[in-house]
Amino acid sequence: MIDVNLRGVLHGIAAVLPRMREQGGGHIVNIASVGAREVSPTAAVYCATKFAVRAVSEGLRQESGGVVRVSLISPGVTESELADSIGDPEAREAMRSYRRVALPAGAIADAIAYAVDQPADVDVNEITVRPTRSAQ
């Protein structure tokens, strides 16, 4: 989880940042989660990685001096195939139940598009996207 959720983001930034600085601008969009704002039972390490992505994004924004725009998108529960990949039947069903009310992936794509479509002098720092209703 640390390798994918945090180190993956750091490697992505390292891959593009020199070129963005060289060309005098760019836009980095990092994906966190509502887990970057709140910790839930059994998800402490996951949330820690997302808190870290949030901190890295804010630090990068401050350090870039306005040359690179940095946006953090934090999705709430989003539709995915994750539940299908869980081997334990009880855990798989719990995940399916948790995702009963979930955002379509397109909602996250729309949030990203909003952030990157802003004029060059506008930096959308953070967007949190959640479903409007909860599973009951």
Domain ranges of the chain: 2-129
Residue appearing with tokens 């836009």: 27
CATH superfamily of this structure's domain 2-129: NAD(P)-binding Rossmann-like Domain (3.40.50.720)
Per-residue pLDDT in tens (0 to 9) along the chain, 136 residues: 999 999 999 999 999 999 999 999 999 999 999 989 999 888 899 999 999 999 999 999 999 988 999 999 999 988 877 667 778 888 777 777 777 788 999 999 999 999 999 999 999 999 999 998 765 4
Annotated catalytic residue 114 = no
Catalytic residue among 43, 46, 77, 83: 46
